[in-house]
């Protein structure tokens, strides 16, 4: 039996291949656009595809396993399928896209989008639908296809649905009579909507419409001044419909973006002056509005890479509602990687850090520093975390007067105990942070792990920060952003890098600088 296992399932599930003929094995997988790594399984062992031709879609790349081993994998790129990608800002909880691409009308229920935005006010949201072109359409003929459509909402008698963005209550918009099924079955409902679409796009006599399709519903169509009774998409691609206006949305047809940003000083900031605080919060809000109504719709991934604990971030999200909610949170210098909005800890990442890590020995090594550098008259070393918050990290606060000597002594203590650990120094001012973490941990390592899980191409990733602590992720291969308010030590480091434009220093501060950096890297 031959199976295939890959990053699309986080390497947790193998899909059996079916045999066709004497020497061909195959399977069909439906994957979102992006890059994926995979290997073939023969029993309990895995191997590369022996005859896979390297091309613009198939490559080979070395990955690091959960045990820290380097393994060569096949890599495949999944492109965006030719289709009409439509996003609709509405207050309706349920709505149906009634469309016509050929002679006959059809209907499809609009799905919830990945965005958390409220584009039309409270309780509004983005809905989405993908209408694929027929299979086998030649690339040269794709732009000759167009689509007419309107939106069908709930029954007019249904007052529970919000019309903030639905349009059916706007005085300048058409209100049309459309009929729908009143039965209970999903199949009947869909048949009724298809019949309503057929009636709209190919008008029938009243006697030709079944009697059970005559319930009045809310609809969203162009305004009264429009020459057309329907909205029109002139060619396949990405589109938005918001408050009666159709706009092009080309970024949805490109691979998603993964943005990994520090929080404090980069996405949010604090100031004692109320006016300055207002402008700082405004920049954070500007980023949130852009991300949720643009990047999130295009399946992009927002990662916060911070020294804050999960509890501290949850508190911050309550205190700063203008802060965008990340898809992934990397905490404690990359020693924790809780993924998704429900903050489910990535157990495979934790398992990777368990190998060779001994918290008791790490505490013992760090504890020696107090005997060496503290005295009755002066305190030069303080505890920050003894592993209670993050079991794969021990953290100290160290005065700069003893920093270099302490790091040297701490490394000797780690080597003596044969710990698989590394030392990370960060912060600014007279007191610095010294972390002892697993040798495979760190902001950049955790970020590379997340990138592999989500299958985002390297050139579509970006990192952003404001302090020397962020050098750990800015110093990788991804495009980097140093925001305009960055600490002088990070700015000095930036000017010392011969990176050929891979890292940019923005003019604007904080979250506004992140947006500027994305634009300068062509990722906006």
Q: What is the pLDDT of residues 183-197, one digit of tens each?
A: 333 344 445 555 444
| Domain edge (last residue) among 78, 111, 133 | 78
Instruction: Kindly give, in sequence order, each residue whose CB lies less than 8 Å from that of residue 405, ignoring residues fewer than 6 positions away.
Output: 373
Q: Do 51 and 179 sit in the same domain of this protein?
A: no
Q: Do 107 and 90 sit in the same domain of this protein?
A: yes
Q: Give dist(CA 306, CA 124) in Å, integer.
A: 31
Q: Do 305 and 433 sit in the same domain of this protein?
A: no
Q: Are 350 and 449 in contact (CB under 8 A)?
A: no
Ranges of residues in the chain with a pLDDT under 50 are 164-165, 167-190, 195-215, 338-341
Residue 71, beta-bridge partner list: 63
Q: Do 114 and 224 sit in the same domain of this protein?
A: yes
What ranges in 320-390 are assigned the alpha helix state H?
A: 347-354, 359-373
Per the domain annotation, does 69 fall within a domain?
Answer: yes
Q: Do 314 and 434 sit in the same domain of this protein?
A: no
Per the domain annotation, does 340 fall within a domain?
Answer: no
Answering whether pTM is above 0.75, one says: no
Per the domain annotation, does 508 fall within a domain?
Answer: yes
Q: Give dist(CA 328, CA 389) in Å, integer.
A: 18
Q: Do 41 and 163 sit in the same domain of this protein?
A: no
| Domain edge (last residue) among 78, 106, 140 | 78
Q: Do 162 and 204 sit in the same domain of this protein?
A: yes
Per the domain annotation, does 344 fall within a domain?
Answer: no
Q: Give dist(CA 52, CA 58) in Å, integer.
A: 8
CA distances for 2 relative to 9, 29, 185, angstroms: 17, 15, 41
Q: Do 307 and 241 sit in the same domain of this protein?
A: no
Per the domain annotation, does 339 fall within a domain?
Answer: no
Q: The domain that contains 400 carries what CATH number?
A: 3.30.70
Q: The domain that contains 314 carries what CATH number?
A: 3.40.50.1000
Q: Do 475 and 514 sit in the same domain of this protein?
A: yes
Q: What is the structure's pLDDT at 297?
A: 94
Q: The domain that contains 42 carries what CATH number?
A: 2.60.40.10
Per the domain annotation, does 349 fall within a domain?
Answer: no
Q: How many domains does the chain have?
A: 4
Q: Do 178 and 43 sit in the same domain of this protein?
A: no
Q: What is the structure's pLDDT at 24?
A: 82
Instruction: Kindly give, in sequence order, each residue whose CB lies less than 8 Å from that of residue 284, ignoring residues fewer than 6 positions away.
Output: 267, 268, 320, 322, 323, 510, 511
Q: Give dist(CA 424, CA 437) in Å, integer.
A: 8
Q: Do 157 and 237 sit in the same domain of this protein?
A: yes
Q: Give dist(CA 430, CA 352) in Å, integer.
A: 34
Q: Do 393 and 330 sit in the same domain of this protein?
A: no
Per the domain annotation, does 509 fall within a domain?
Answer: yes
Domain with 53 in it: 2-78
Per the domain annotation, does 347 fall within a domain?
Answer: no
| Domain edge (last residue) among 386, 418, 438 | 438
Q: What is the structure's pLDDT at 50?
A: 56
Q: What is the structure's pLDDT at 275?
A: 94
Q: Give dist(CA 524, CA 513) in Å, integer.
A: 12
């Amino acid at each position: 039996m031959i199976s295939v296992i890959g990053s699309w399932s986080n390497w947790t599930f193998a899909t059996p291949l079916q045999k066709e003929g004497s020497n061909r094995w195959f399977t069909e997988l439906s994957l979102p656009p992006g890059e994926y790594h995979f290997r073939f399984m023969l029993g309990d062992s895995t191997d590369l595809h022996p005859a896979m031709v390297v091309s613009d879609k198939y490559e080979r790349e070395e990955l690091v396993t959960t045990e820290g081993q380097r393994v060569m994998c096949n890599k495949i790129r999944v492109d965006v399928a030719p289709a009409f990608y439509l996003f609709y800002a509405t207050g309706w909880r349920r709505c149906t896209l009634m469309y016509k691409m050929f002679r006959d009308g059809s209907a499809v229920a609009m799905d919830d989008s990945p965005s958390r935005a409220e584009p039309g006010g409270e309780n509004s949201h983005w809905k989405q639908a993908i209408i694929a072109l027929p299979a086998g359409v030649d690339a040269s003929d794709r732009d000759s296809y167009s689509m007419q459509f309107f939106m069908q909402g709930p029954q007019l008698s249904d007052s529970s649905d919000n019309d903030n963005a639905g349009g059916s209550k706007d005085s300048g918009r058409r209100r049309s009579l459309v009929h729908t099924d009143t039965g209970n079955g999903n199949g009947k409902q869909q048949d009724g909507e298809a019949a309503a679409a057929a009636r709209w796009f190919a008008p029938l006599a009243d006697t030709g419409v079944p009697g059970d399709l005559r319930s009045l519903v809310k609809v969203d169509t162009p305004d009264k001044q429009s020459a057309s009774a329907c909205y029109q998409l002139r060619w396949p691609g990405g589109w938005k419909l918001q408050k009666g206006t159709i706009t092009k949305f080309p970024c949805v047809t490109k691979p998603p973006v993964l943005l990994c940003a520090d929080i404090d000083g980069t996405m949010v900031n604090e100031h004692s002056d109320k006016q300055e605080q207002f402008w700082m919060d405004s920049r954070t809000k500007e980023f949130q509005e852009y991300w949720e109504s643009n990047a999130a719709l295009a399946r992009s991934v927002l990662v916060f890479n911070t020294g804050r604990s999960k509890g501290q971030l949850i508190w911050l999200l309550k205190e700063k509602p203008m802060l965008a909610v990340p898809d992934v949170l990397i905490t404690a210098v990359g020693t924790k990687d809780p993924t998704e909005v429900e903050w489910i800890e990535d157990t495979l990442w934790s398992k990777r850090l368990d190998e060779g890590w001994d918290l008791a020995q790490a505490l013992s090594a760090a504890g020696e520093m107090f005997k060496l550098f503290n005295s009755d008259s002066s305190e030069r070393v303080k505890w920050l975390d003894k592993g209670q918050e993050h079991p794969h990290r021990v953290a100290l606060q160290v005065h700069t007067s003893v920093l270099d000597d302490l790091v040297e002594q701490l490394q000797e203590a780690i080597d003596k105990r044969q710990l698989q650990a590394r030392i990370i120094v960060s912060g600014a001012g007279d007191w610095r942070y010294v972390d002892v973490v697993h040798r495979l941990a760190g902001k950049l390592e955790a970020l590379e792990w997340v990138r592999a899980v989500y299958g985002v191409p390297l050139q579509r990733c970006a990192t952003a920060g404001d302090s020397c602590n962020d050098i750990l992720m800015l110093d990788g291969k991804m495009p980097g952003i140093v925001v305009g308010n960055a600490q002088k030590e990070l700015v000095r480091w930036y000017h010392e890098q011969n990176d050929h434009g891979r890292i940019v220093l923005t003019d604007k501060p904080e979250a506004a600088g992140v947006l500027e950096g994305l634009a300068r890297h062509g990722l906006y």
